Each structure stands twice: as C-alpha cells, then as structure tokens.
Amino acid sequence: MIRKTHIFAHRGANRHAAENTRTAFDLALQNDINGMETDIQLSRDEVPLLFHDRYMNKLGMPDSHIDDLDFDVLRTLDFAAHFKPTLPAEGPLRLKDFLDRYRARCQLLLEIKNRDWEEQARKESKIRHTLALVGAHAGDDILMSSFDLPSLIYAHQCSPKFPLVYNMEPEHTIADAQSVLDKQTFLYGYCLHISRLDKTMRDLLRSHNKVIAVYTCNSEAEIRQALDLEVDILISDVPEFALQLRDDAART
C-alpha cells in the first residue's frame, strides 16, 4: 500500500499543453512527479483512447461524443488545436500507446469514463479492453478508477486482484463512504474531492486500510490540507507547485 503522499499530474501538464496529449504528459515528466492521471473512453469502433469531456466542443463538434466517430476519423483531428496555435498538431492518444510510452516511467491512474447514455454492454467492453491492455497487474503503479461503482464491481469480477479506486462526488458524505466500505470490501482505495477531505473521513478510510487519493488540489490551501492529512495520492493541475510544497514540508 502507498503510505507517502505521491503527486500525480492531472491529465498531464494541462496548463502548459492540451490535456491528455503526449506533449502534456512529456512536460509533466520534466518534474519529479510520482504519477499521472488520465481518462479512458472508446471510439465508436471500440479503440480505447484518452479523452475527458462528454462532448467534443474543443474539437469544434459540440453536439458529438467521442464515441460517435471511428478511430480512423478521430485520428485526422487535431486534439491540441484548442490550446495554443503554436503547438504541434496531435491526434488522439490510444491507451495502448500511452501504456507503452509511460508505464515504465511513473505510476498511472486510469479513470474509466462510463457515461449515462452508454449501454451496459459498451461500459463493460470498455472495462475489458482496459484490463486486457494493462494486463494482469496488481501493484501500486497502475490503478483503475471510476465514478461509476457498477463498473468497478464488474472490473473486480473480471480481474479480482486488480487495484480499483472509487471516485467519490463532491456531494458524497461520510455516511456514503461508510456504506460503500461495508458493501464493497474489494476496493483498493477511494478518490475524494478535496472538499470532502477531513480528519474524520481520513480516519475512516485508514481504519479499513484503504489508499486515499484526492482531487483536484490546485491552491496552496488545498495542497497543504491534503499533505497535512497525509493522503496517498494528491492529484493536481499544478504538480510542480504541489511537489515544491511537499518537499518544503519534508525539510521542516
């Protein structure tokens, strides 16, 4: 189990390059981060790729979902054009290529984006594709997370040893956490919104020996709060700042 606060870049260095692109991940790794968080969706022809949003506004297609198009069409689009015109064009990053490029360089947190409009069969297919690409992995260096608890239950049925993290919404209470802890004992950890993190919640999860991640810590107050409560994983849009605060605290 992780027992030191690890700093994860949220979708790469997303303030310096388009999120979930090679450039963003490469820039993030110029800092001494511990890991990177990213988002998994499927193209229409079921190619797992990295994309966060519900709609394709950033690609000039506000009425479309990423799974409306086959990968051969998506690869013709520039996924970085919305960020800065001076950056090189980048197509979608497949999960396979992401794993090949980064899994040996840092920890990875793969968030499965299963949406309300998707059929259950497609949600389950996304889980199976991801597990197959990662392989039978049961360590701390590749974790799978989701806000969709049934997806994690299904993932556990497919791969009982794979470390799975439940993402809790900001409105979730400690009673919600206790209910899930009682029913879903297989969960490896919980990823809390920073507004839900306090000593009571921390102590509850620690009493069940669960890994604690927290999102998305960007201000000095948020980062210090997560560090003071000794979370395992701190997810940030400003990982270089979080690293500085963590290392400064370690020296005092």
DSSP letters along 117-148, please?
TS-HHHHHHHHHHHHHHH-S--SSSEEEEES-
What is the Cα–Cα distance from 118 to 244, expressed in whole angstroms? 41
Does residue 136 surpass a pLDDT of 70? no
Instruction: Give residue 251's pLDDT band: very low, low, confident or very high (50, 70, 90).
Output: confident
**Tokens matching residue 78:** 């520039």
| Burial class of 68 by CB neighbour count within 10 A (0 to 12, 13 to 18, 19+) | middle
- Comparing 206 with 117, the larger pLDDT belongs to 206
Q: Is residue 227 part of a domain?
A: yes
**Tokens matching residue 203:** 């102590």
Instruction: Give residue 163's pLDDT band: very low, low, confident or very high (50, 70, 90).
Output: very high
Q: What is the pLDDT of residues 207-241, one digit of tens each?
A: 999 999 999 999 999 999 999 999 999 999 999 99
Q: Is residue 87 part of a domain?
A: no
What pLDDT does 138 receive? 56
Q: Once rounded to an integer, what is the mean pLDDT over residues 19-44?
A: 97
What pLDDT does 2 receive? 61
Does residue 87 surpass a pLDDT of 90? no
Instruction: Give residue 1's pLDDT band: very low, low, confident or very high (50, 70, 90).
Output: low
Does residue 137 surpass a pLDDT of 60? no
- Comparing 87 with 80, the larger pLDDT belongs to 80
Q: Are 233 and 211 in contact (CB under 8 A)?
A: yes
Q: Is residue 149 part of a domain?
A: yes
User: pTM for the full model?
Assistant: 0.96
Q: Is residue 89 part of a domain?
A: no
Look over the chain and give the mean of its residue pLDDT values, rounded to a whole number: 95
Cα dihedral sign, 23-28-34-35: negative
Inter-CA distances, 227 with 6, 69, 121, 151, Å: 10, 42, 40, 30
Q: Is residue 183 part of a domain?
A: yes
Which CATH number do you get for residue 189? 3.20.20.190
Q: Is residue 132 part of a domain?
A: yes
Percent of the chain with pLDDT over 70: 97
What pLDDT does 12 receive? 98
Does residue 140 surpass a pLDDT of 90? no
**Tokens matching residue 88:** 């090189």
Range of the structural domain that residue 50 is part of: 6-54+94-251
What pLDDT does 105 receive? 96
What pLDDT does 84 receive? 79
Instruction: Give residue 10's pLDDT band: very low, low, confident or very high (50, 70, 90).
Output: very high
Nearest CA to 4 among 31, 29, 35, 38?
35
What is the Cα–Cα distance from 196 to 223, expressed in whole angstroms? 14
- Give how many domains the chain has, as a whole number: 1
Q: Is residue 146 part of a domain?
A: yes
Q: Is residue 174 part of a domain?
A: yes
Q: Once rounded to an integer, what is the mean pLDDT over residues 31-43?
A: 97
